[in-house]
């Protein structure tokens, strides 16, 4: 993902997590809030509880790859934070894709 499409500041993460709309599944939780930037931005959160750096980075790489096409089709200014859950560690790629696409559609419609 290019830098302008990423959520970088912790204040933006906090605002989205606190005041954003939430949709969740057993694999990931998705938080969506409106932003002033006018374009969609995405942030990923993977807890240290899920594993060491290798495991966490693998989860983030997979989620970035799944979000990339969704982000290119998205319109409007919204911030999205995707939080990985424990089941995401061993999830098949196709299952993770299914979950993220379903939650993305749910979060984007409102």
Whole-model pTM: value is 0.91
Tens of pLDDT, residue by residue over 72-92, are: 888 888 999 999 999 999 999
Q: Write out the residue range of the structural domain in which residue 97 sits.
A: 3-105
Using the predicted structure, report yes or no on whether residue 108 has a pLDDT greater than 90: no
Domain of residue 94, CATH code? 3.30.230.10
Say if 110 falls within a structural domain. no
**CB 33, CB 107: distance < 8 Å:** no
DSSP track, 2-35: -GGGB---HHHHHHHHHHSEEEE-SSEEEEEEE-
Range 38-50 average pLDDT: 93
Structurally, the chain folds into a number of domains equal to 1
Residue 110 binned pLDDT confidence (cut-offs 50, 70, 90): low
């Amino acid at each position: 993902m290019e830098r302008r499409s990423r959520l970088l500041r912790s204040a933006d993460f906090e605002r989205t997590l606190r005041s954003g709309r939430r949709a969740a599944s057993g694999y990931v939780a998705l938080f969506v809030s409106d932003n002033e930037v006018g374009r969609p931005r995405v942030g990923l959160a993977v807890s240290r509880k899920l594993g060491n750096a290798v495991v966490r980075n693998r989860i983030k790489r997979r989620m970035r790859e799944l979000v990339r096409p969704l982000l290119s089709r998205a319109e409007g200014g919204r911030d999205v934070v995707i939080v990985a859950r424990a089941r995401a560690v061993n999830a098949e790629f196709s299952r993770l894709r299914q979950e993220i696409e379903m939650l993305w559609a749910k979060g984007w419609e409102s």
